[in-house]
Structure 1
Amino acid sequence: MSAVFDALRLSAVSLDVSAAQRGTPQGIAQRQQTRLAALLNFTLRGSRLYRSLWPAGTTPGTALEQLPVVTRSQLMAHFDDWVTDPQLQFDALRAFTADPARIAEPWLDRYMVWESSGTSGQPGIFVQDAQAMAVYDALEALRRSPPPKPLISSMWDPLGLGERTAFIGAIDGHFASTVSVRRLCAINPWLAHSTRSFSLLQPLGALVQALNAFAPTAIATYPTAAALLADEAARGALHIRPREIWTGGEYLAPAMRAHIARQLGAAVRNSYGASEFLAIGWECAHGQMHVNADWVILEPVDEHLRPVPAGQPSSSVLLTNLANHVQPLVRYDLGDQVSLLAERCRCGSPLPVLQVQGRHDEPLVMCGQGGRRATLLPLALSTVLEDNAGVFDFTLRQIDACTLELHLPQEGDEGHQALARCCAELQAFAIAMGVGAIQVHGKLGQSTPRGRSGKSCRIVACAKT
């Protein structure tokens, strides 16, 4: 299988990524504006949809904030008018992504294609050419901060040939992570011998057995999946000792990070990416998330799509992908809650610091005191269960305005003790939040459901009637 790869483009981008990393915030801003003008110019010439949406008189020099916000459902509904290559047609691509036998196969011999999981309510299909993939490759290779290797390990294996990497995810769909892993193994045959993919959707016992046999030195997966493996290590079923855990795709809470690091004995390195732009942010050695602002623009906004001040959490964030001219994303409503900080990091990077709260999940509207309604936020509920009750693998489902149902995988005395802690913490938190007396029903021996992409579904609001 051929791979979408341009060595010359990768070399040029890599040199620029390295230079920008050693430069100044002003240098980052200059690169950003130059690339934005090029993107707008190409989009004006090639995308019928954007030409119809943008104000008359829009030029490559038009300020970004003067352009309208777009959504996934809006773009997907007009896919053939959105893309700048008329050979890209939605119906054909949808049929392509429906066939698992064609995962990571280049489309038209020059495009990588992946689908989103649809966690934001509308699945998407995303197309990247070799130029965009070169940007993603360079950012991943040069800005991910690896933990220092032990001296003896560096002496005996300076090229890292003894590393064994396990990717754990949904491996039977055209998802960005799965496509990327297969593509990298096609480009670098030596990686195929040291990299193995494991389905997160298989029975837990089978996954643990397979990982014990492979003994990976590095694991790439979702935070909730890593926490599940940490639970298995804590109870003595998982015997691996990886050196590092790479997480992404979900919110990584501080308590969950500590749990993973403690039980698996590994450094945890978190990243921030999306189907719309693979390498949005990377975590430096000081534990701060940095935005790759030379190649992506993030605009934190409130619920009315107005800019929020630095340091304040957003309701959503608008993304502009400066690398992809084939399928332009300009002021795209990503749906994540983030905070951009004004202060520079102590690591010296010129790139801005970002705090990621994750996807804006649906809140639980409960019956409050005095007949009023009260809202419980999913992120707060997750924090209560993780930090206070010490439980990381769970499903909390709202039954009605006064009742929650908690599913835990544990059984026996361990399960009953965990359930008692969770119920006590949830009820105390509900009272503190102004919710009336709630009931929490528990079910033990229940695994956490996961969507098609392998992401966990931990907090579920009741259906609206």
Structure 2
Amino acid sequence: MGIFAAASELLELSTKLHRLIPPRTGEVDHTLELREERFRHLLRYARDNSPFYQARLGKIDVDTCALEDLPTLSKAEMMANLDNVFTDRTLRRSEIEDFIADHANLGVYFKGRYALCHTSGSQGQPALVVQDKHAIITSFAAQFARGNKVKRKFLPHIGRLVNPARMVIITQRPGFYPSSTFFNYFPRVAAPYLKLQRMSVFDPVEEIVQRLNDFQPTFITGYTSSLEFLAREQEAGRLKLREGGKLEQMNSMSEPLPADVAERIEKAFGVHVTNSYSMAECMALSCGCPVCRGSHLNSDLAILEVVDGNNRPVPNGTPGAKVLLTNLYNFVQPIIRYEIDDIVTMSAKPCACGNLLPLIESVRGRAKDQLWIEIDGRSRELPIYVFLAALDNETDLAEHQILQTGVNTFVLRAAPQEGKQLLSERLRNYVMQSLASEGLADVVKLDVEIVDRILPDKSGKVRRAKNLIGPPPDGSPPTPQNASRVVA
């Protein structure tokens, strides 16, 4: 990166950090004005530059229409028309898929400009998401301005040059999935502010503990089950983060955070656990509240409609049937009233922390059974993410389901999109490569079935993971990830 480009990126990051400090009680809240301004700009830009949205919005007055006047967008519809959704007319889905198929491209900007990501596929079909460097910087600025316990001035961020924050992220091996992508494209100019270490949930527990003890992070981000596992290591005296006195905050992502689990983690480490709600389609959707269990919606960067099954808004305090997302900062791939089957409840009360941004009280996704494997006679959890990371490579996939049919034995059922074909051996290779990267290729036995469709259960929803054999033989729940390797 040239000196002028670096200076420009640093100025953009610094400016956004300052502007994204959230409004608080007693301050003037310009959030709604910003949201309206960005919303109208998004509609005009999408209409003028995207063939897909030109057809959709051509007969709508985008300067005066109500949000509810706009059609909704499904993932399948977006993916079927992806080339025409893009506002950069040089972007092609086939070239993007070829690019992300090569893991040597992790952290590399496509065409020198675009960060690439695929969704987890937790609701069936994976999706591709393209955003430019400006959108990536916005996501970072929002997280560090709003997701941490920072003072109300800009200068503390400059102070990180002298005393950089130390962050650990514990997920899977790096890939193009959302939580990894956020750090794959970590702005180089932000490096002086933050020292980063990445660990896998499948790393040997001794290695994780030793690295954490040596690094003494100020922030840890990971799956809920990973943070709970660390709490047990802290309670057992092997992990010594509380004693180190550096840890300031922990952040849970990608999994629900039950109150009892959060309390256990906080008791073990003496710090607050935030709970973030975001997705590939909008990484800056919310930031975990540094005080309560919910997360604050970045309502100047995104519109989140909590609706019933007929797309009618539900009152705050009432769970919706799904949400409709509008991303206000991604102009390369406009996402407007995008349907996501998450069950979200917005708080009916202002947050006690004083932040005026709307509070997301709770989020529930589709139900998933707990999968497990047995190694050396001991059971351990097998996160569905190991399968999802593999299936994200197949964008012709419409529906999938993981069945546990025996000890260490699984079946992947996969249905193609209309007019597409899936190859069972290719899907199997994707999954086995994912398992191999976590050292599990010799443990898991996998069969693949190609089906026309996957039927929902009695609730009307498809369960992405189904355990057909029940819990381990001793009846106890499997230990999370690598906890079976704990050395007494």
TM-score between both structures, scaled by the size of structure 2: 0.68
Q: How does 1:294-309 map to 2 (within 5 A)?
A: 294-309=300-315
Give the whole-Å Cα distance in 2 for the aligned partners of 1:174 and 1:158. Answer: 28
Give the whole-Å Cα distance in 1 for the aligned partners of 2:295 and 2:125. Answer: 27
Q: Give 5+ residue unaligned stretches, structure 1.
A: 149-153, 365-377, 379-391, 401-438, 451-465
Asked if 1:195 corresponds to 2:196, the answer is yes
RMSD: 3.5
Cα 1:23–1:46 change in 2 (3 A) is farther
The C-alpha deviation readout for 1:338-381, integer Å capped at 9, x for no partner, is 1123432333333122212232336x8xxxxxxxxxxxxx9xxx
Give the whole-Å Cα distance in 1 for the aligned partners of 2:365 and 2:290. Answer: 25
Query: Is the 1:23–1:350 contact (alpha carbons within 8 Å) kept by the matching residues of 2?
Result: no
Query: Aligned partner of 2:119: which letter?
Result: S
Give the whole-Å Cα distance in 2 for the aligned partners of 1:57 and 1:195. Answer: 46
Cα 1:161–1:342 change in 2 (3 A) is same
Cα 1:139–1:440 change in 2 (3 A) is closer
Aligned pairs, number: 378
Q: Of the candidates 344, 352, 355, which is equivalent to residue 358 of structure 2?
A: 352
The C-alpha deviation readout for 1:319-352, integer Å capped at 9, x for no partner, is 1001111100100112221112343233333312
Q: Partner residue of 2:275?
A: 270
The C-alpha deviation readout for 1:69-96, integer Å capped at 9, x for no partner, is 1122221121101111112111111121
SS class of match (2:276): strand
Give the whole-Å Cα distance in 1 for the aligned partners of 2:24 and 2:35. Answer: 13
SS class of match (2:97): helix
Cα 1:398–1:116 change in 2 (3 A) is closer
Query: Is the 1:25–1:350 contact (alpha carbons within 8 Å) kept by the matching residues of 2?
Result: no
Query: Is the 1:302–1:308 contact (alpha carbons within 8 Å) kept by the matching residues of 2?
Result: yes
Q: How does 1:286-435 map to 2 (within 5 A)?
A: 286-287=291-292, 288-361=294-367
Give the whole-Å Cα distance in 2 for the aligned partners of 1:161 and 1:143. Answer: 19
Q: Partner residue of 2:96?
A: 93
Give the whole-Å Cα distance in 2 for the aligned partners of 1:227 and 1:129. Answer: 35
Q: How does 1:3-402 map to 2 (within 5 A)?
A: 6-18=9-21, 27-54=30-57, 56-146=59-149, 161=163, 163-184=165-186, 186-190=188-192, 194-241=195-242, 242-287=247-292, 288-361=294-367
Cα 1:130–1:296 change in 2 (3 A) is same
Q: Give 5+ residue unaligned stretches, structure 2.
A: 371-379, 385-401, 406-468, 483-488
Identity between Structure 1 and Structure 2 (%): 28
User: Quick check: which one's helix share is greater?
Assistant: 1
Cα 1:332–1:447 change in 2 (3 A) is same
Give the whole-Å Cα distance in 2 for the aligned partners of 1:271 and 1:19. Answer: 16
Give the whole-Å Cα distance in 2 for the aligned partners of 1:310 and 1:253. Answer: 21
83-92 vs 353-362, which moves further:
353-362
Query: Aligned partner of 2:316: which letter?
Result: A
Asked if 1:443 corresponds to 2:443, the answer is no
Query: Is the 2:320–2:344 contact (alpha carbons within 8 Å) kept by the matching residues of 1?
Result: yes
Give the whole-Å Cα distance in 1 for the aligned partners of 2:479 and 2:204. Answer: 10
Query: Aligned partner of 2:308: which letter?
Result: D
Query: Is the 1:316–1:360 contact (alpha carbons within 8 Å) kept by the matching residues of 2?
Result: no
Give the whole-Å Cα distance in 2 for the aligned partners of 1:54 and 1:163. Answer: 45
Cα 1:11–1:249 change in 2 (3 A) is same
Query: Is the 1:321–1:330 contact (alpha carbons within 8 Å) kept by the matching residues of 2?
Result: yes
Give the whole-Å Cα distance in 2 for the aligned partners of 1:12 and 1:123. Answer: 34
